[in-house]
C-alpha cells in the first residue's frame, strides 16, 4: 500500500507539517496552488520573550489567480531581519549553537527570487536534520484536473497511491466518495495530543515553527513528534 500526502508550500512550517511528510511514501509539494495572503505560505511564528512573533517574507501579489510558485519575494532584506530575530530569541536555546551555521547559511546567503524556492530549501534542510527520507515531488509534474478533490485524486493515481493522508482542514471540501470510487482510502492527520518539550518563554505553544523544536531539543526533537517510533 502506497501512501500519498499533498500540501501547499509553507515557510518554516510547524512540526505537524513534517510529521505528515514522514508518514507517507511520497509527498507532493503543491506550489501551483493559488497564493493566499496572510497565510502560512510566507510567514510563521516563533517564541519570544514578549510572546508570539510573526516572521513574514515580503512578497508581491499581482493578481488573485497568482500561484505560490509564481510569487516573487520583494527584497532580500527580510532574510537578515528574520535571522537577527531568530538569533535574539533562540541563542540561549540548548541546541542553538549546534544548528546555527546550517540556518545562518540559508538566511545570509539567500538569493532566491521566488517564495516557494526558499520554502523548499528550508523544508529540505529540516528533512535532513530530522532524517526524513520521503520522496518529494512537485505539483507541476502532474496534469492537474479541474475540481479540488478531482485534482488530488489525479495526483494520487499518477503516484500509484492507495491511501491519501490529508490535513484536517480539508474536511471542509474534500469529497471522500470520489476517492472511494477510485479505490483510494482517505486518512485524516490528527494533530492533537502532541507532548510538550523544553521551550523557552512560557506558556507553552505548539503552533510555532519547527525551528523552535530543533533549537530546544536538537537530536531529541523526534521524540516530541508523532511519526517516529522508538
DSSP for 15-41, written as a single string? HHHHHHHHTSSEEEEE-SSBP-TTSTT
The three cell numbers locating residue 83: 535571522
C-alpha–C-alpha distance, residues 121 and 214, integer Å: 16
Q: Rounded to 5 degrees, what are φ and ψ at 14?
A: -80, 175
Q: What is the predicted pLDDT for the residue at 192? A: 95
CA angle 132-196-21, nearest 5°? Answer: 20
Helix (H, G, I), strand (E, B) or coil at 150: helix
Distances (CA, A) of 74 to 44, 59, 78, 145: 18, 5, 9, 31
Report pTM. Answer: 0.96
Q: What is the predicted pLDDT for the residue at 230? A: 56
Q: What is the pLDDT of residues 185-228, one digit of tens each?
A: 999 999 999 999 999 999 999 999 999 999 999 999 999 999 99
C-alpha–C-alpha distance, residues 143 and 196, integer Å: 41
Q: Rounded to 5 degrees, what are φ and ψ at 167?
A: -70, 155
Q: What is the pLDDT of residues 106-142, one digit of tens each?
A: 999 988 999 999 999 999 999 999 999 999 999 999 9
Q: Rounded to 5 degrees, what are φ and ψ at 20?
A: -60, -45
C-alpha–C-alpha distance, residues 169 and 57, integer Å: 24
Beta strand 185-188 with 3-8: parallel, antiparallel or unpaired?
A: unpaired
Angle between helix 96-108 and 115-130 (nearest 10): 160
Q: What is the pLDDT of residues 76-105, one digit of tens each?
A: 799 999 999 999 999 999 999 999 999 999
Q: What is the predicted pLDDT for the residue at 143? A: 87
The burial of 53, by beta-carbon neighbours within 10 Å (0-12 exposed, 13-18 middle, 19 or more buried), is given as middle
Amino acid at each position: 500500500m502506497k501512501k500519498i500526502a499533498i500540501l501547499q508550500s509553507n515557510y518554516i512550517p510547524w512540526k505537524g507539517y513534517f510529521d505528515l511528510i514522514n508518514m507517507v511514501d511520497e509527498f507532493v509539494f503543491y506550489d501551483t496552488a493559488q497564493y493566499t495572503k496572510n497565510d502560512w505560505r510566507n510567514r510563521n511564528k516563533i517564541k519570544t520573550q514578549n510572546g508570539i512573533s510573526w516572521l513574514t517574507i515580503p512578497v508581491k501579489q499581482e493578481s488573485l489567480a497568482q500561484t505560490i510558485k509564481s510569487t516573487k519575494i520583494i527584497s532580500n532584506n527580510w532574510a537578515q531581519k528574520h535571522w537577527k530575530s531568530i538569533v535574539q530569541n533562540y541563542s540561549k536555546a540548548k541546541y542553538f549553537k549546534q544548528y546555527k551555521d546550517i540556518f545562518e547559511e540559508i538566511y545570509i546567503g539567500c538569493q532566491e527570487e521566488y517564495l516557494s524556492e526558499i520554502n523548499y530549501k528550508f523544508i529540505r534542510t529540516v528533512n535532513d536534520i530530522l532524517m526524513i527520507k520521503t520522496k518529494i515531488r512537485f505539483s507541476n509534474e502532474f496534469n492537474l484536473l479541474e475540481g479540488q478533490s478531482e485534482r488530488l485524486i489525479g495526483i494520487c493515481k499518477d503516484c500509484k497511491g492507495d491511501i491519501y493522508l490529508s490535513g484536517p482542514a480539508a474536511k471542509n471540501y474534500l469529497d471522500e466518495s470520489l476517492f472511494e470510487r477510485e479505490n483510494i482510502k482517505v486518512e485524516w492527520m490528527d494533530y492533537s495530543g502532541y507532548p510538550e518539550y523544553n521551550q523557552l518563554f512560557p506558556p507553552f505553544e505548539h503552533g510555532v515553527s519547527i525551528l523552535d523544536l530543533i533549537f530546544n531539543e536538537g537530536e531529541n526533537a523526534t521524540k516530541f513528534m508523532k511519526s517516529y517510533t522508538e
